[in-house]
């Protein structure tokens, strides 16, 4: 991605440049050593004679660098620098000589003598090149600060976008099964129909309306329970054992919404829910600085991989890596058609 450079011709940037310039003059005077002149006189002197250098710096920053250097037009850049440098020397010479009647002197053989035209040009070129160098350093320093800030902002926005995308990847397979189950309840005029529709509505509202990055653990557990209830339609209540080993209402732990859903989705999709002899076992252990979450299920005899197999777990891995780098551990084992999933998140 190309990022635009930000020092543009504007009153705001001109004022900022002037303030920085004056601060530089003040710093130079304070660190230059003892002088018979007062600080105010020295400050006035340098301000009076450096305004041409200020203009050279400013036009180098807003014209030469963005128009030629950043576009890699190096020949045009050289011509523009020569043009600005020549203009600087001429203006400086006429301003100092005719308007302010300031004489140039060179220190030669222990005495000060009036400088000739070649000395004047040489000194002007040297100072002009110094000002151009200052312009490049200042320009790229400011650009670096702003670009670094924007890159950090873009990375943060991309991270949030990635997390949001992963968060909302609720498997349509489960919604389809839930709707079919509720449709069947409506056909047999079951009393559970209205309650199931309300649960589905609350489940979808949680997915769509939970805008915060973190939610109370009791909200997440409540969402999981609604999800489980909807999937138990048509089955015995005993097919799922959900054990939370903590006073959930008083727990202050917060987690990203829908983080714990994938293991349960996986258990319902691939597990055996036809008998109660080997139910899906869900465990959640909470403490002030750690969350331990487990899901166990028997893999059904009719299980076969499809195109969506493994996508949910892969998305969860990506989400955990973004949210808890080096602070989580996910264990997945499959022994004799018995699947075990464990997630540990360390908060401190």
- On the CB side of 195, how many CA atoms lie within 13 Å of its CA? 9
Place 3 in a pLDDT band, splitting at 50, 70 and 90: very low
Q: Which residues pair with 243 in a beta bridge?
A: 283
Are both 185 and 252 inside the same structural domain? yes
Instruction: Evaluate whether residue 109 is within a structural domain.
Output: yes
Residue where a domain stops, chosen among 139, 164, 189: 164
Per the prediction, the chain carries an average pLDDT of 76
pLDDT at position 154 over 70? no
Q: In this predicted structure, what is the pLDDT of residue 286?
A: 84
Residue where a domain stops, chosen among 146, 164, 182: 164
Measured CA to CA, the distance from residue 184 to residue 283 in angstroms comes to: 31
Instruction: Evaluate whether residue 3 is within a structural domain.
Output: no
Mean per-residue pLDDT, 184-206: 81
Q: Give the β-pairing of 280-286 and 240-245.
A: parallel
Place 190 in a pLDDT band, splitting at 50, 70 and 90: confident
Mean per-residue pLDDT, 21-36: 77
Are both 329 and 257 inside the same structural domain? yes
Measured CA to CA, the distance from residue 174 to residue 20 in angstroms comes to: 62
Q: In this predicted structure, what is the pLDDT of residue 5?
A: 42
Are both 240 and 290 inside the same structural domain? yes
Domain of 138 in residue numbering reads as 11-164
Are both 138 and 242 inside the same structural domain? no
Token readout for 272 is 């055996």
For the chain, the C-alpha Rg in angstroms (whole number) is 36
Residue with tokens 């899901």, as numbered in its chain: 295
Token readout for 244 is 């939370």
**pLDDT cut 70: percent of the chain above it:** 73
pLDDT tens by residue, 204-225: 777 666 667 788 888 888 888 8
Are both 295 and 183 inside the same structural domain? yes
Are both 190 and 318 inside the same structural domain? yes
Measured CA to CA, the distance from residue 184 to residue 169 in angstroms comes to: 26
Residue with tokens 């258990």, as numbered in its chain: 267
Counting the structural domains of the chain, the total is: 2
Pick from 57-71, 158-172, 188-202: least confident: 158-172
Instruction: Evaluate whether residue 6 is within a structural domain.
Output: no
Residue where a domain stops, chosen among 164, 192, 211: 164
Decide which of 70 and 168 is more confident: 70
In sequence order, the 6+-apart residues with CB closer than 8 A to the CB of 281 are 241, 243, 294, 295, 296, 297
pLDDT tens by residue, 252-308: 788 888 888 888 888 887 766 665 667 888 998 887 788 899 999 887 665 555 554
Are both 113 and 184 inside the same structural domain? no
Instruction: Evaluate whether residue 195 is within a structural domain.
Output: yes
Q: In this predicted structure, what is the pLDDT of residue 115?
A: 57
Domain CATH for 235: 3.30.565.10
Mean per-residue pLDDT, 225-231: 82
Instruction: Evaluate whether residue 248 is within a structural domain.
Output: yes
Instruction: Evaluate whether residue 295 is within a structural domain.
Output: yes
Q: In this predicted structure, what is the pLDDT of residue 343?
A: 92
Q: In this predicted structure, what is the pLDDT of residue 6?
A: 44
Are both 201 and 149 inside the same structural domain? no
Instruction: Evaluate whether residue 1 is within a structural domain.
Output: no
Closest CA relative to residue 140, chosen from 84, 86, 61: 61
Are both 209 and 296 inside the same structural domain? yes
pLDDT tens by residue, 82-120: 999 998 888 877 776 665 545 555 555 655 555 566 767
Are both 149 and 188 inside the same structural domain? no
Place 344 in a pLDDT band, splitting at 50, 70 and 90: very high
Are both 136 and 154 inside the same structural domain? yes
Q: Is 33 left (phi over 0), alpha (psi -120 to 50) or beta?
A: left
Instruction: Evaluate whether residue 172 is within a structural domain.
Output: yes
Are both 237 and 340 inside the same structural domain? yes
Q: Which residues pair with 113 in a beta bridge?
A: 106
Measured CA to CA, the distance from residue 248 to residue 253 in angstroms comes to: 9
Neighbours of 274 (CB within 10 A): 13
Q: In this predicted structure, what is the pLDDT of residue 96?
A: 66
In sequence order, the 6+-apart residues with CB closer than 8 A to the CB of 172 are none
């Amino acid at each position: 991605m190309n990022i635009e450079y930000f020092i543009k011709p504007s009153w705001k940037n001109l004022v900022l440049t002037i303030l920085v310039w004056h601060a530089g003059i003040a710093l130079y005077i304070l660190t230059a050593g003892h002088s018979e002149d007062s600080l105010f006189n020295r400050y006035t002197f340098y301000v009076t004679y450096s305004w041409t250098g200020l203009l050279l710096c400013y036009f180098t920053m807003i014209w030469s660098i963005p128009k030629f250097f950043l576009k890699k037009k190096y020949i045009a850049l050289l011509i523009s620098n020569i043009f600005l440098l020549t203009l600087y020397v001429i203006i400086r010479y006429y301003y100092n000589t005719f308007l302010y009647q300031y004489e140039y002197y060179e220190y030669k053989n222990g005495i000060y003598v009036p400088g000739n035209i070649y000395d004047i040009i040489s000194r002007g070129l040297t100072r002009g090149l110094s000002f151009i160098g200052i312009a490049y350093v200042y320009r790229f320093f400011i650009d670096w600060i702003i670009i670094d800030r924007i890159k950090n902002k873009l990375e943060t926005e991309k991270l949030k976008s990635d997390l949001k995308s992963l968060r909302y990847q609720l498997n349509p397979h489960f919604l389809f099964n839930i709707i079919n189950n509720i449709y069947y309840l409506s056909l047999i005029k079951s009393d559970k129909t209205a309650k199931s529709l309300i649960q589905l509505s609350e489940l979808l509202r949680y997915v769509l309306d939970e805008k915060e990055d973190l939610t109370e653990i009791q909200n997440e557990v409540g969402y999981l329970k609604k999800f489980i209830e909807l999937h138990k339609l048509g089955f015995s209540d005993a097919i799922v054992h959900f054990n939370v080993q903590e006073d959930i209402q008083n727990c202050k732990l917060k987690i990203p919404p829908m983080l714990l859903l994938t293991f349960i989705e996986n258990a319902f999709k691939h597990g055996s829910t036809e008998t109660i002899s080997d139910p899906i076992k869900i465990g959640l252990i909470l403490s002030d600085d750690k969350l331990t979450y487990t899901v166990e299920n028997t893999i059904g005899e009719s299980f076969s991989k499809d195109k969506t197999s493994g996508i949910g777990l892969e998305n969860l891995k990506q989400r955990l890596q973004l949210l808890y780098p080096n602070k989580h551990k996910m264990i997945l084992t499959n022994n004799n058609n018995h699947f075990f999933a464990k997630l540990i998140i360390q908060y401190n």
